[in-house]
Chains A and B, each alone.
Chain A
Amino acid sequence: MIQLEEITKSYTLGKEAVNVLRGISLQIKSGEFVAIMGPSGSGKSTLMNIIGCLDRPTTGSYFLNEEDVSQHKDHELAKVRNQSIGFVFQQFQLLPRLTALKNVELPMVYAGASKQEREERARDALAKVGLQDRVGHLPNELSGGQKQRVAIARALVNDPSLILADEPTGALDTATSVAIMDLFVQLNQEGTTIVVVTHEPEVAEYASRVIYVRDGLLGQNPLEKGGQTS
């Protein structure tokens, strides 16, 4: 479903070119639960932005659902984000002035769904994450875990083929983190492909496969390797 071929990404900072990604090829199949790990500065955020169609690679090609999106124009990428990808962020990224329901409706607003359909599907999505009795609440009336559930409901609501989560438990306590990760597992069991970017091994443990990024390249699990050698 996701196929990256020799993806590179470089920025120019002043006169110097910085190669953040230096040739990454990987495949993620439909229905997988993948964790992307790596230390800060490794390029895992850039990789996530490219997978999430928020950014384009400098070279290489990216096939999402058999479609080459690496050369897409801005509005085409916006459509891919809207239809095929659901984002979950560390800081939840809810609009503070909208109720939980309206926040979940947003992706459908940009998809052009009717008001009635939007409300129906948003309620369903909120029910799925266990927030059916919080639909009318504003984000600041919700706990961290509840906010992240709203964000997950919003990610789900357009029925994307991929949910992309960037440090989804980074702002949550341990118990809540477990609950949120359980929710991802449940969604994955129902067939949604999930990619989680994290630096926490505890989070990565929920994934069926872990991809390590180091210095802009894919690497092996440093913990396992380190454990074997020493």
Chain B
Amino acid sequence: MSLWENIKMALMSVKAHKMRSILTMLGIIIGVAAVIVVVAIGQGGEAMLKSQIAGDGNTIEVFYQPSEEEMQQGKWEENPFTQEDIRQLEGIEKVSNVVASSSEFSTARLREEETETSITGINEAYLDVNQLKVEKGRSFTSADFLGGRRVAIVSAAMQEELFEGKSPIGEIIRIGVQPVEVIGVLEKPTGLFAFGSVETYIPWTAMRNMLGTSNYSQVTLQVENADDIQPIGERATTVLNQLHDTDDSYQVINMEEIAQGIGQVTTIMTTIIGSIAGISLLVGGIGVMNIMLVSVTERTREIGIRKSLGATRQQILLQFLVESIILTLIGGIIGIILGAGTAYLVSFFADWPSLISWQVVLGAVLFSMLIGVAFGLLPANKASRLDPIDSLRYE
């Protein structure tokens, strides 16, 4: 007797007792759905946290943090990245952009109004890599950077502060005593950790001309492939430490370690909640065993008939085992659909990403089948051991 024959038979038997089958499956359905939801939300949260901490995953900031020894030797620099440094960094393989900037606080004036603002002198890659979009007016051109033109792009908060919401395009503001023409306004930032601050961006070359800033204070590398981030970051620090003849003043934060830390925390959380959900799967499995035992008793005569017609013990065993596997498998599949739907709803209404990986789905299917086997064995074994004579007489 083929397996397909057994599966068809099992499906028929499941269909014959619709209500009972659904109730039996319910435990499995709820268990699987709960596990899927918990894991999906856990993994989604992990991915969100990681992306927020590590940015979009393909940028890495280089820090300047000289050792105390070097500080005492007077090696400390306010703007530790030279233009030569930037050129060298740009020469590193797989680095797609080097974002460099230097910023300081200053007062900006428009006629009688004035406000404190951070003035950031940026290089050409800055706006793109930091995903700052110009909403009104125009962005910087290469000519602005090359010529050190005194043009500025202001944040939305700055527009509120200094221009009282009116269009600042074309206005001349004074930074310190230097006049700068406003050419654009940035989009308001969105997202969980974003707040609008009062900012003014000008080409770094303009800043050098205006304020005498000699070097860059901040450098961020953008790499082509997020996987290469760590080795390229390390390479950059080596290059910089060599150029400046320093030991370990130029550093990168090990994003992998941070991501791993977050991963560990969320994995532990997901495991704990997931195993609580898993208990309901266990209870569901016991429900399946219970019903299968009832079913064996109820079908004693059927078993007797089948045995008298030549069914072996193995064939009877397989019949009932397949039946319990089918029950749990169908329950598992319904649970997956239900769980995926719930996870989707949660992420839709709670604005929390959920991630349903194929591994979890496959795991849920296999696990519910495993439950079918584990909790089906006892009833199936009982069925297979029934004596044909007694079973035929069973009323």
Contacts and interface: CB of A to CB of B under 8 A. Distances in A.
Given A109-B5, A112-B1, A95 B302 contact: yes
Contacts of A79: 310, 312
A193 interface: no
Interface string A62-96: 00000000000011001101110001010001110
A97 B14 CA distance: 12
Nearest to B316: A78
Contacts of A109: 1, 5
B308 A55 contact: no
Contacts of B307: 54, 78, 81
A75 B388 contact: no
Nearest to B5: A109
A43 interface: no
Contact of B309 (A55, A74, A81, A97): A81
Contacts of A158: 310
B315 interface: yes
B54 interface: no
B389 interface: yes
Interface in B301-326: 301-302, 304-315
Interface string A205-220: 0000000000000000
B366 interface: no
A89 B307 CA distance: 14
A90 to B, nearest CB: 10
Contacts of A52: 308
Given A93-B301, A95-B302, A97-B16, A111 B389 contact: no
Interface in A78-135: 78-79, 81-83, 87, 89, 93-95, 97, 106-107, 109-112
A54 B389 contact: yes
A174 to B, nearest CB: 26
A89 B309 CA distance: 12
B388 A54 contact: yes
B392 interface: yes
B16 A93 contact: no
Q: How large is the interface on B (under 10, 10 to 19, 20 to 34, 35 or more residues)?
A: 20 to 34
Q: How large is the interface on A (under 10, 10 to 19, 20 to 34, 35 or more residues)?
A: 20 to 34
Interface in B4-39: 5, 12, 16
Nearest to B315: A110
B12 A97 contact: yes
B302 A78 contact: no
Interface centre among B1, B16, B306, B309 (most CB of A within 10 A): B309
Interface centre among A78, A95, A106 (most CB of B within 10 A): A78
A110 B309 contact: yes
A75 B305 CA distance: 15
Given A54-B388, A93-B301, A112-B1, A107 B12 contact: no
B310 A82 contact: yes
Contacts of B305: 93-95, 106
Given A95-B302, A112-B1, A78 B389 contact: no
A82 B309 contact: yes
B309 A107 contact: yes
Interface string A190-209: 00000000000000000000
Interface in A36-75: 49, 52, 54-55, 74-75
A82 B388 CA distance: 13
23 contacts: A54-B308, A54-B388, A75-B312, A78-B307, A78-B312, A79-B310, A81-B309, A83-B310, A89-B392, A93-B304, A93-B305, A95-B305, A97-B12, A97-B16, A106-B305, A106-B306, A107-B309, A107-B310, A109-B1, A109-B5, A110-B311, A110-B315, A111-B310
Given A78-B313, A82-B309, A109-B1, 16 more contacts: A49-B389, A54-B308, A75-B314, A78-B311, A81-B307, A81-B310, A82-B311, A87-B308, A89-B392, A95-B305, A97-B12, A106-B305, A106-B306, A107-B310, A110-B1, A110-B315
